[in-house]
Structure 1
Amino acid sequence: MAAEGCEEMSGNGELEEPSVMDAPEVPPPPPPEMSEENGSEAVAPEAPVGPDPASFSVPSAVGDEEGELPADFERLWKAAHDNPQDFTSWTDLLQYCEQESHITASRRALEAFLIRYPLCYGYWKKFADLERRSGYNDRAEEVCIQGLQVIPLSVDLWIHYINLLLGTLDMNLPESPKRIRSVFEDAVVAAGLDFHSDRLWDLYVEWEKEQGNMKNAAAVLDRVLRVPTQLYNTHYDKFKEHLNNHPPKEVLSSEEYEELRAYCRQSQKAERAEQAQEEEEERPPGEEEPATPEGTDSEELMQKIREQVLLRRDKVYQDNEGEVRKRWHFEDAIKRPYFHVKPLDRVQLRAWHSYLDWEIAELNRDTKDPTQDPNQAATEESEVTTQPQEASEEAVVTHSDYRVRILFERCLIACALYEEFWTRYIQYLEPQSVDEARAVYKRACEVHLTYKPNIHMQWATFEERHGNSTEARRVLVALEKSMPGLAIVRLRRVALERRAGQLDISEALLREAVDESKEKPTLHAFYSIKLARLLQKVGRNPSEARRVLQEALEISPDNDKLHLNLLELEVSGDPWVSAEAVQECVTRALAAPLASHTKILLSQRGLQFAEDYSNSIKSVLSVYDAHQKLLNELGGTKRGAENGDEDAEKLSKSDDGSAVAVSGEAPPTMPHVPITTPPPPMVGTDMSAQAGYGAYSSWYQQPQYSSYGYQNTWNYNQGYYPPS
């Protein structure tokens, strides 16, 4: 059952407990030789998308015991809150509170724990039992209701809630049975399609029998005959036993009973036609056929009615067995259908993906019929849930959208910590309902994946794509507050504001990032380059962009990326006014503590600028002589390097063969380490070729600075300059 554990229960808060009723042994898989016709199933009128975490709150404690908390409570409480992702710290706290039997401490611990790990159904049960033992039955009920809002597919929690009501309600009051029946209905609608929901159906049937409602018990059995569950065959056996132990009139609905009674009477008359004719010939004149007393039926007629009932149900049973057979190997491959913080292995993850693939494929196959009205199909499914129909005349959509959603919800209990399944569910829902997809994003990001930034950023993109920039902005701001220092999140906020036309806010965000990162030179340079590019390309303010880069160089004079971006900014300006600024930029770089190959590259760039735009040959030769002098000083005196025969890749390599690219730290992986994206390339480069939004693979990604378009060094004629 979804959210149910068997033996390994530490992740859900309890060891294996005796079942509410003894379940039959698990039957073997259905035989392979059976009909391929679709069976029937009970479905709910509305498909589930899970609870809204905005409404999630544990009932407030009323009447808590006063007094000091246990001695080690504060220490364990602090350990759990300092590292909320450490599940062991939480279980240590909960076990300590349980050992101390301190209700106030236990309440505080359980409330805090269930907000972070709401899928641990065993702890909801512990919480409810704690309140009940303390005499707070109303609070125990509130806890169960709250838990079922979070995990409505938990069969075990539904049974626990029903048993709580059975033990606390006064069943002599007329409203109590109505309330119990209403809860049973809510339970089978929410969790009745689960493959392991047999115990819930059995409990419902037995309770109706205890109330003396044999028709209701038969109706519940009639419904579960259409649901593919693990113990599908035992339900049919129970239906036959129930039918044989009671008169059909006390078991069947009035409509079905009268119909079958009339049919069987007609059949009896046809069978006895010849016999009746012979008896009439031998009967004394004037004597009439004995009449059956009004309002009574013979045992023979009752047996014929039973045979017709089973004949109809046998078709339902065979169809349902076919559905179980289709699902059996998928269900058998799922070893941990309940939530646990321990990772699932790849085999288990593939099993869930395969099951989802199959169920969606079955839905697509069944909905290819263009004559089927989806609204009509939903109405028919609703009728099957609320009122059993005659099996031989039903046409129920087995592979429904509702069943696909139920499987997704089951999957998201066992795989709640895996983004891929949340993303897949959202992709399934979005074409049908943007609001439902948004609700799933909300559950994923605000409850289960609070420290997974990727899905939060996907949510922001989703909201912006659907025209809700305000919500996208809120999502990114909340993410940055919970995980401060992530550079990619700040860049997403900057890009969002820029696309929204809020250039002043976009600039302010980058300036704030620059100011806050002055104690971290590498990150400061990264944000400074981003700000300079925004000012130059979007704000059309190269002078301010120049100032930003120059201030960054005062903090990080050895950062080659800052020098290269500043130089590119200067050469991209008006060539008639940029010559002096370009040479000043080169001079600054040559005086900085940069690597030799970087200085040569910058000097070459300055020489090319002079060659391309200088209107005086003397200035060109002056720059050339300075470049030659630099080559001699740094050991790069090869003739090929002077005249362009040397490959650019060789020039951009250091003595040990490493490329001129990485300076500063490598991108960290921990969520609270601030740098997660590399600094951008130079101001003049185009990032449109980058793969993916924010997919920076390494710092700067320009080891040869090839994006400038200078694949080779100078290719001037050999005699253009005199040899030095």
Structure 2
Amino acid sequence: MAAEGCGEMSGNGELEESSAMDVPEVPPPPPPEMSEENGSEAVAPAGPAPASFLIPSAIGDEEGELPADFEHLWKSAHDNPQDFTSWTDLLQYCEQESHITASRRALEAFLIRYPLCYGYWKKFADLERRAGYNDRAEEVCIQGLRVIPLSVDLWIHYINLLLGTLDMNLAESPKRIRSVFEDAVLAAGLDFHSDRLWDLYVEWEKEQGNMKNAAAVLDRVLRVPTQLYNTHYDKFKEHLNNHPPKEVLCSEEYEELRAFCRQSQKAERAEQAHEEEEERPPGEEEPATPEGTDSEELMQKIRKQVLLCRDKVYQDNEGEVRKRWHFEDAIKRPYFHVKPLDRLQLRAWHSYLDWEIAELNRDTKDPTQDPKQEATEESEVTPQPQPASEEAVVTHSDYRVRILFERCLIACALYEEFWTRYIQYLEPQSVDEARAVYKRACDVHLTNKPNIHMQWATFEERHGDLNEGRRILIALEKSMPGLAIVRLRRVALERRAGQLETSVVLLREAVDESKEKPTLHAFYSIKLARLLQKVGRNLSEARRVLQEALEISPDNDKLHLNLLELEMSGDPWASAEAVQECVTRALAASLTSHTKILLSQRGLQFAEEYSNSIKSVLSVYDVHQKLLNELGGSKRGAENGDEDAEKLSKSDDDSAVAVAAQVPPTIPHVPITTPPPPIVGTDMSAQAGYGAYSSWYQQPQYGSYGYQNTWNYNQGYYPPS
């Protein structure tokens, strides 16, 4: 049992087994030179939509005593649910022990996490059937098909289950089987590898003695680009030749062709009779022909006309197969597996999707295409009406694109890029359908991928459902606690919704919960202070938050920088003392020399620009000069503009410095005494890595515009101390 889903598998991900029908050998690709393109195919509404599922509760379970090692393997699988091997070990053990209760529990839990492993749905159904629960076996198949309606193998397994359990002597049994066949071909019949399903449908109709229905099914598959497209045409010709046309064709088509062929035959006989009359001896009469009977010659003429019509369909379909063949040939693993796909396989799926969408766009712009006419032509060769509502009908090419996306999401279910791409395709057409894909991705297949969950929350907020956006983010935070980005997304959502108090509460909770992690505590404290300052306009509360954070992390340079920026953003005349207190506190902390010089420089700049007393400016200047003397020669070199600019930029954004260093001077050198003032409200946390704004103060930036002395820019304005 463990081998299935993890070993080498065939077409749809199951180990090779005896199938319901023998599959012919795969034909070579169609010939490269074709005269016709744009073949048509059967248009049908989607089958059971993939959605969340619920395994039906077991009936008549006998708990008894579980196998000896079950609890150990069960715990191992649940402790690490992403470990596929631990699940397969559990399932294999349950199968070896032949314990139905243990197997049920294991299969139910496994299929909730890995619902695309269709082989295990089959094993689950077989388990119930062997135990005598046919209704439950049928329900398991139905649940599996709701999740993976494109699984040809699971459809065939379900049909064979019904054929083995239903009483075919009852009038309703054939109707039910035919209904399931219709659901199957509508859901999975457009799959490139759906030939076995179509063949099974044809053979079953023949067994029921319904030759017209068998011909109608063959007529439909002639329009579908499949791997064994040519064998279907051969079977149609064989079916037509082995039975009278009246027993194969629908009555309308047969009568139309019969009338046409009889007219043609009469014309030929009239001409032949005229020739024979000229050669007949005088007095001899023409032999009588029985009325009301169709001769073998007429039957052959009808067959010939039928094949002339189908040959055009076949040629068009061959063109469609030819266009898809190399894309299909590049796909080596069309079934689900937890093993990563290589880049070539991912690229193959992207290329196939690109092409199919391009075909849709081309067909949409083609003015010669008439969807009504195409639908009429199809109804002429398909006697059974299509069970589709007006809302369920989608365009011919659009349905093919959706089928390809669904096939791709089976093989690439663990890659969020394909889910995102499918959603982007669906959203302009239907928000509800895009939402359903988000739900499948986040609730089933990508439970541990936070990015797509946050995209889903953004999607819901963009479409006006704030409550659903909140629910998604809250659920994500519960399932993956500790992600700061999720908490910040919740804060931003509430702020945009006008719920500032809720935003503040969320950040306060984060601050309180992270006191044991100083770095994270400082991060949340900065975010809370900025929210209170910039949105809440509450400087005093923002100041208190940063001061409390400094008590826990007195050597955190980001906290010092943000507190200084907060003080500088207030009333410049009332903030002078608070600014200098910030600088003094920072200089007493265990910060890097670079950070201390930067803070001291900012304090001196603030004093020069806003102080009312030259004495206070000179006092600050003296403190700054003393700091430079204490730091030694390396920073004195920087003071005079002699140090290499790249060395000064190592602690900040190298890329920004590199760009600035490459910019040629465009403004003449003008001796300016001070650099530009800081932007009000600048996020000073970026000075140490939150946004790379610190490079704005670096020498290379100013060097291009004439600012050469970064640290002691005012040495020409004040006398040396």
Q: Shorter-chain TM-score: what band?
A: 0.7 to 0.9
State how far apart, in whole Å, the 1-side matches of 2:309 and 2:235 are: 16
State how far apart, in whole Å, the 2-side matches of 1:653 and 1:227 are: 63
State how far apart, in whole Å, the 1-side matches of 2:661 and 2:96 are: 51
Deviations 1:650-671 (A, max 9, x none): 5566799999999999999999
- Segment of structure 1 superposing worse, 701-710 or 682-691: 701-710
Deviations 1:568-591 (A, max 9, x none): 111111111111111111111112
Aligned equivalent of 2:228: 231
- Please say if residues 162 and 184 of structure 1, whose CA atoms lie closer than 8 Å, have aligned partners that are also in contact: yes
The offset of 1:380, in angstroms, is 7.3
Q: Measured at CA, do residues 649 and 40 of structure 1 come closer, stay the same or move farther in structure 2, by a change above 3 Å?
A: closer
The offset of 1:9, in angstroms, is 3.3
- Please say if residues 40 and 316 of structure 1, whose CA atoms lie closer than 8 Å, have aligned partners that are also in contact: yes
State how far apart, in whole Å, the 1-side matches of 2:3 and 2:388 are: 32
State how far apart, in whole Å, the 2-side matches of 1:143 and 1:640 are: 78
Deviations 1:601-628 (A, max 9, x none): 2122112211111111221122122222
The offset of 1:718, in angstroms, is 3.8
State how far apart, in whole Å, the 2-side matches of 1:689 and 1:236 are: 69
Q: Measured at CA, do residues 94 and 216 of structure 1 come closer, stay the same or move farther in structure 2, by a change above 3 Å?
A: same
Q: Measured at CA, do residues 226 and 429 of structure 1 come closer, stay the same or move farther in structure 2, by a change above 3 Å?
A: same
3-state DSSP class of the match of 1:318? helix
The offset of 1:62, in angstroms, is 1.5
3-state DSSP class of the match of 2:67? coil
- Segment of structure 1 superposing worse, 714-723 or 668-677: 668-677
Q: Measured at CA, do residues 604 and 210 of structure 1 come closer, stay the same or move farther in structure 2, by a change above 3 Å?
A: same
Q: Identity across aligned pairs (percent)? A: 93
Deviations 1:529-560 (A, max 9, x none): 00000000000001100000000001111100
The offset of 1:461, in angstroms, is 1.4
3-state DSSP class of the match of 1:637? helix
Q: Measured at CA, do residues 499 and 398 of structure 1 come closer, stay the same or move farther in structure 2, by a change above 3 Å?
A: closer
Q: Measured at CA, do residues 229 and 191 of structure 1 come closer, stay the same or move farther in structure 2, by a change above 3 Å?
A: same
State how far apart, in whole Å, the 1-side matches of 2:536 and 2:242 are: 86
- Segment of structure 1 superposing worse, 594-603 or 175-184: 594-603
- Please say if residues 47 and 188 of structure 2, whose CA atoms lie closer than 8 Å, have aligned partners that are also in contact: no
State how far apart, in whole Å, the 2-side matches of 1:508 and 1:311 are: 76
For residues 414-453 of structure 1, what are the structure 2 equivalents within 5 Å? 414-453=411-450
- Please say if residues 36 and 315 of structure 2, whose CA atoms lie closer than 8 Å, have aligned partners that are also in contact: no
Q: Measured at CA, do residues 711 and 319 of structure 1 come closer, stay the same or move farther in structure 2, by a change above 3 Å?
A: farther
3-state DSSP class of the match of 1:463? helix
- Segment of structure 1 superposing worse, 190-199 or 601-610: 601-610
The offset of 1:389, in angstroms, is 12
- Segment of structure 1 superposing worse, 666-675 or 620-629: 666-675
Q: Measured at CA, do residues 420 and 691 of structure 1 come closer, stay the same or move farther in structure 2, by a change above 3 Å?
A: farther
1:41 matches 2:38: no
State how far apart, in whole Å, the 2-side matches of 1:131 and 1:673 are: 88
- Segment of structure 1 superposing worse, 381-390 or 7-16: 381-390
Q: Measured at CA, do residues 351 and 381 of structure 1 come closer, stay the same or move farther in structure 2, by a change above 3 Å?
A: farther
- Please say if residues 155 and 197 of structure 1, whose CA atoms lie closer than 8 Å, have aligned partners that are also in contact: yes
Deviations 1:271-329 (A, max 9, x none): 11133235567889999866654542111111111111111111111111111111111
1:283 matches 2:304: no
- Please say if residues 532 and 542 of structure 2, whose CA atoms lie closer than 8 Å, have aligned partners that are also in contact: yes
- Please say if residues 352 and 411 of structure 1, whose CA atoms lie closer than 8 Å, have aligned partners that are also in contact: yes
State how far apart, in whole Å, the 2-side matches of 1:717 and 1:98 are: 83
- Please say if residues 565 and 681 of structure 1, whose CA atoms lie closer than 8 Å, have aligned partners that are also in contact: no
The offset of 1:64, in angstroms, is 0.9
- Segment of structure 1 superposing worse, 30-39 or 131-140: 30-39
For residues 13-52 of structure 1, what are the structure 2 equivalents within 5 Å? 14-43=14-43
Deviations 1:488-538 (A, max 9, x none): 111111111111111011111111111111111000000000000000000
TM-score (ref. length: structure 2): 0.88
- Please say if residues 487 and 675 of structure 1, whose CA atoms lie closer than 8 Å, have aligned partners that are also in contact: no
- Segment of structure 1 superposing worse, 26-35 or 140-149: 26-35
3-state DSSP class of the match of 2:365? coil
- Please say if residues 695 and 701 of structure 2, whose CA atoms lie closer than 8 Å, have aligned partners that are also in contact: no
The offset of 1:723, in angstroms, is 2.0
Residue of 409, 434, 454 corresponding to 1:412: 409
The offset of 1:440, in angstroms, is 0.9
- Please say if residues 644 and 715 of structure 1, whose CA atoms lie closer than 8 Å, have aligned partners that are also in contact: no
State how far apart, in whole Å, the 2-side matches of 1:2 and 1:503 are: 53
Q: Measured at CA, do residues 307 and 114 of structure 1 come closer, stay the same or move farther in structure 2, by a change above 3 Å?
A: same
Residue of 167, 171, 178 corresponding to 1:170: 167
The offset of 1:645, in angstroms, is 7.3
- Please say if residues 40 and 316 of structure 2, whose CA atoms lie closer than 8 Å, have aligned partners that are also in contact: yes
State how far apart, in whole Å, the 2-side matches of 1:210 and 1:119 are: 33
- Please say if residues 48 and 145 of structure 2, whose CA atoms lie closer than 8 Å, have aligned partners that are also in contact: no
Deviations 1:325-350 (A, max 9, x none): 11111111110111111111111111
State how far apart, in whole Å, the 1-side matches of 2:224 and 2:7 are: 26
1:307 matches 2:304: yes
3-state DSSP class of the match of 1:193? coil
Aligned equivalent of 2:295: 298
Q: Measured at CA, do residues 668 and 345 of structure 1 come closer, stay the same or move farther in structure 2, by a change above 3 Å?
A: farther
Q: Measured at CA, do residues 668 and 83 of structure 1 come closer, stay the same or move farther in structure 2, by a change above 3 Å?
A: farther
Deviations 1:116-156 (A, max 9, x none): 11100000000000000000000000000000000000000
- Segment of structure 1 superposing worse, 396-405 or 140-149: 396-405
State how far apart, in whole Å, the 2-side matches of 1:348 and 1:414 are: 10
The offset of 1:427, in angstroms, is 1.1
- Please say if residues 529 and 546 of structure 2, whose CA atoms lie closer than 8 Å, have aligned partners that are also in contact: yes
State how far apart, in whole Å, the 2-side matches of 1:717 and 1:683 are: 22
Deviations 1:28-63 (A, max 9, x none): 0111122233222112xxx77886676411111111
- Please say if residues 41 and 227 of structure 1, whose CA atoms lie closer than 8 Å, have aligned partners that are also in contact: yes
- Please say if residues 654 and 660 of structure 1, whose CA atoms lie closer than 8 Å, have aligned partners that are also in contact: no
- Please say if residues 488 and 677 of structure 1, whose CA atoms lie closer than 8 Å, have aligned partners that are also in contact: no
- Please say if residues 661 and 700 of structure 2, whose CA atoms lie closer than 8 Å, have aligned partners that are also in contact: no
Q: Measured at CA, do residues 643 and 346 of structure 1 come closer, stay the same or move farther in structure 2, by a change above 3 Å?
A: closer
- Please say if residues 159 and 177 of structure 2, whose CA atoms lie closer than 8 Å, have aligned partners that are also in contact: yes
The offset of 1:686, in angstroms, is 5.3
3-state DSSP class of the match of 2:154? helix
The offset of 1:695, in angstroms, is 12
Higher relative contact order (CA 8 A, sep 6+): 1
State how far apart, in whole Å, the 1-side matches of 2:488 and 2:390 are: 61
- Please say if residues 38 and 316 of structure 2, whose CA atoms lie closer than 8 Å, have aligned partners that are also in contact: yes
The offset of 1:635, in angstroms, is 1.9
The offset of 1:438, in angstroms, is 1.0
The offset of 1:597, in angstroms, is 2.1
3-state DSSP class of the match of 2:720? coil
Q: Measured at CA, do residues 278 and 373 of structure 1 come closer, stay the same or move farther in structure 2, by a change above 3 Å?
A: closer
The offset of 1:681, in angstroms, is 14
- Please say if residues 148 and 158 of structure 1, whose CA atoms lie closer than 8 Å, have aligned partners that are also in contact: yes
- Please say if residues 451 and 671 of structure 1, whose CA atoms lie closer than 8 Å, have aligned partners that are also in contact: no
- Please say if residues 445 and 456 of structure 1, whose CA atoms lie closer than 8 Å, have aligned partners that are also in contact: yes
- Segment of structure 1 superposing worse, 539-548 or 708-717: 708-717
3-state DSSP class of the match of 1:393? coil
- Segment of structure 1 superposing worse, 250-259 or 601-610: 601-610
3-state DSSP class of the match of 2:689? coil
Q: Measured at CA, do residues 697 and 690 of structure 1 come closer, stay the same or move farther in structure 2, by a change above 3 Å?
A: closer
Q: Measured at CA, do residues 396 and 283 of structure 1 come closer, stay the same or move farther in structure 2, by a change above 3 Å?
A: farther
Unaligned 5+ segments in structure 2 are: none
The offset of 1:15, in angstroms, is 2.3
Q: Measured at CA, do residues 352 and 12 of structure 1 come closer, stay the same or move farther in structure 2, by a change above 3 Å?
A: closer
- Please say if residues 597 and 653 of structure 1, whose CA atoms lie closer than 8 Å, have aligned partners that are also in contact: no
Residue of 47, 50, 53 corresponding to 1:53: 50
The offset of 1:214, in angstroms, is 0.8
The offset of 1:701, in angstroms, is 14
- Segment of structure 1 superposing worse, 99-108 or 57-66: 57-66
- Please say if residues 51 and 443 of structure 1, whose CA atoms lie closer than 8 Å, have aligned partners that are also in contact: no
TM-score (ref. length: structure 1): 0.88
State how far apart, in whole Å, the 2-side matches of 1:522 and 1:667 are: 40
